[in-house]
């Protein structure tokens, strides 16, 4: 599959997510809900930063595993 097809699938998935969950996005998170939301967001940011860092290192220092 080419990059345009992958991009279209990704954008379509994000559009479906917002279409299904848009009514719930305006709710106020209080108490336990806000804790779990914050924990999820921080976890996602940490994992994303780690993956970006590993990708940067791999691109800058290529190794041959032959």
44, part of any domain: yes
66, part of any domain: no
Say which residue, 16 or 31, is predicted with more confidence.
Answer: 16
Q: Can you tell me the mean pLDDT for 10-21?
A: 88
pLDDT at residue 23 above 80? Answer: no
65, part of any domain: no
pLDDT at residue 29 above 70? Answer: no
Instruction: Provide the domain count of the chain.
Output: 1
pLDDT at residue 47 above 90? Answer: yes
Q: Can you tell me the mean pLDDT for 26-33?
A: 73
43, part of any domain: yes
**Which segments of 1-66 does DSSP mark as H helices, in order?**
3-25, 32-60
| Domain housing 14 | 3-60
36, part of any domain: yes
Per the CB < 8 A criterion, the answer to whether 37 and 29 are in contact is yes
% residues pLDDT > 90 (the chain): 41
CB neighbour list of residue 18: distance below 8 Å, 6 or more residues apart = 25
9 is written with which tokens?
């699938």
| Distance in angstroms (rounded) separating the CA atoms of residues 33 and 27 | 11
């Amino acid at each position: 599959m080419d990059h345009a097809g992958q991009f279209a699938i990704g954008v379509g998935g994000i559009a479906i997510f917002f279409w299904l969950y848009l009514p719930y996005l305006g709710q106020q998170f209080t108490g336990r809900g806000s804790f779990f939301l914050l924990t999820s967001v921080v976890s996602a940011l940490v994992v994303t930063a780690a993956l970006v860092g590993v990708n940067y290192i791999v691109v800058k220092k290529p190794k041959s595993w032959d």
